[in-house]
């Protein structure tokens, strides 16, 4: 059995354990996590179905512009999808439509989309809405540390997937350029950049919602509002697959968190971050929203470290694991390796930066 087959079997076992615990009154906490996985279907459908249906249309609109630009850079146009959209918010589906090859679709849609795309369309706008005003400069610093190491994460994931080194390095060029521009913008014009990301996030939600509404009308009446859309059943099949994976992934993460809590807390103290910051790192592995809510209780170094870590590593054992298992199960291992390499190296950069600040 391959790694991803073993992991899926383990998650299936935890889904069964969660179902049994739910039957017997949620005695061990696994039943609640099982429910959370299934109930995620609603929010996933709102975020994904519309863009999955629109992907062929968007690809046709974008190809005349994106293909020549990325060809000039020596990269596959699939990388564009992952730089602006999270893998589970349309990045994966759009990458497949734009890609010239399957490996490029996986590199752009799954690996880049789970790091850079997720940061652009989710992490920055959501963090801005949750963090207190005084923590915004710290957020910008953490995002900078995280973006700097995204190419390392994508490189590690691509090599783990067995993609040719030359192909991976060529396709890193637009990521490095776009990441550098975002970093420069956050450094020089933090407020304007953050507002821009908020507007972009709202625009994505609007496009996704229009796609979903058009797909619903077409499915119910047969009347085509937007020609060329994929059937709505494709979107719900993807969402349903992710939800059943999460029904096992959430109980698994719950148990892992329980087992690793003490050693990770000890590691946090060694890194010079307080208990709230150490707990935030653990929470990010499943979902970074909880981490952002805890930032106010962290020490300064802990804040920078957590936000830097979340850029690449957030959702590695949560939504992104569920998405990858349903979308391209062979990419589960590369996705985990890539996101953790990106996250851990971002922590190292954040530690170096905060240590330098403390000395000055």
Tens digit of each residue's pLDDT (9 = 90 or more) over 320-344:
998 898 889 999 999 999 999 999 9
Please compute the mean of the pLDDT values over residues 19-35 and round it to a whole number.
Answer: 95
The mean pLDDT value for 113-133 works out to: 84
Q: Quick check: 21 pLDDT over 90?
A: yes
Q: How many CB atoms lie within 10 A of CB 238?
A: 21
C-alpha distances out from residue 193 to 128, 196, 212, 343, Å = 11, 5, 29, 22
Q: How far apart are CA 99 and CA 218, in angstroms?
A: 27
Q: How confident is the model at residue 90 (pLDDT cuts 50, 70, 90)?
A: confident
Instruction: Give the tens place of pLDDT for each residue, 170-182.
Output: 999 998 998 888 8
* Percent residues over pLDDT 90 in the chain: 45
Handedness of CA 241, 247, 251, 257 (dihedral sign): positive
pLDDT band (50, 70, 90) for residue 286: confident
Nearest CA among 171, 67, 207, 156 for reference residue 342: 156
pLDDT for the residue numbered 360: 58
The domain in which residue 239 lies consists of: 3-359
Question: What is the pTM assigned to this prediction?
Answer: 0.85
186: pLDDT strictly greater than 90:
no
In this structure, is the dihedral angle defined by the CA atoms of residues 295, 198, 188 and 351, taken in order, positive or negative? positive
Indicate the DSSP class of residue 317.
Answer: T
The answer on pLDDT for 197 being more than 80 is no
Statement: residue 357 has pLDDT above 70: no
Q: Which pLDDT score is estimated for 201?
A: 74
Taking residues 137-150, what's their average pLDDT?
89
Helix, strand, coil: what percent of the chain each, to 5?
85, 0, 15
Domain count, the chain: 1
**Contact (CB, 8 A) for 116 and 181:** no
Tens-digit pLDDT profile for residues 257-285: 788 778 877 888 888 898 889 889 988 98
Query: How confident is the model at residue 181, as a pLDDT?
Result: 86
Residue in 91, 90, 89, 68 with CA at minimum distance from that of residue 79: 91
Query: Which pLDDT does position 219 carry in this prediction?
Result: 96
| Residue that wins the pLDDT comparison between 42 and 359 | 42
């Amino acid at each position: 059995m391959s790694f991803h087959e073993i992991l899926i079997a383990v998650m299936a076992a935890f889904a069964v354990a969660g179902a049994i615990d739910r039957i017997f009154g949620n005695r061990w906490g696994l039943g609640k996590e099982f429910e959370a996985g299934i109930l995620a279907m609603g929010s996933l459908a709102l975020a994904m179905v519309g863009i999955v249906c629109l992907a062929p249309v968007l690809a046709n609109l974008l190809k005349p512009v994106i293909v020549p630009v990325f060809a000039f850079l020596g990269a596959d146009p699939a990388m564009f999808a992952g730089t602006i959209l999270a893998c589970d918010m349309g990045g994966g589906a759009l990458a497949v439509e734009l890609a010239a090859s399957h490996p490029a679709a996986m590199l752009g849609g799954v690996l880049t989309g789970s790091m850079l795309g997720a940061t652009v369309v989710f992490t920055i706008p959501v963090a801005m809405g949750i963090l207190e005003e005084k923590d915004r400069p710290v957020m910008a610093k953490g995002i900078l540390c995280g973006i700097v190491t995204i190419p390392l994460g994508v490189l590690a994931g691509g090599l783990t997937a067995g993609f040719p080194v030359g192909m991976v390095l060529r396709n890193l060029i637009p990521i490095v350029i776009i990441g550098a521009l975002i970093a420069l913008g956050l450094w020089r014009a933090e407020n304007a950049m953050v507002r821009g990301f908020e507007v972009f996030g709202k625009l994505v939600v609007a496009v996704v919602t229009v796609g979903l509404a058009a797909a619903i009308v077409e499915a119910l009446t047969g009347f085509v509002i937007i020609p060329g859309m994929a059937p709505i059943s494709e979107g719900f099949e993807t969402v349903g697959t992710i939800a059943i994976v999460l029904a096992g992934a959430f109980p698994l993460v719950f148990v892992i968190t329980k087992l690793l809590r003490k050693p990770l807390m000890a590691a946090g103290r060694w890194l010079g971050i307080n208990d709230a910051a150490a707990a935030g790192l653990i929470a990010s592995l499943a979902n970074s929203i909880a981490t952002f809510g805890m930032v106010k209780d962290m020490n300064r170094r802990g804040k920078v470290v957590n936000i830097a870590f979340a850029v690449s590593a957030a959702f590695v054992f949560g939504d992104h694991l569920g998405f990858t298992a349903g979308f391209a199960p062979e990419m589960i291992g590369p996705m985990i390796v890539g996101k953790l390499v990106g996250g851990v190296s971002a922590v190292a950069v954040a530690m170096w930066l905060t240590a330098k600040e403390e000395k000055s």
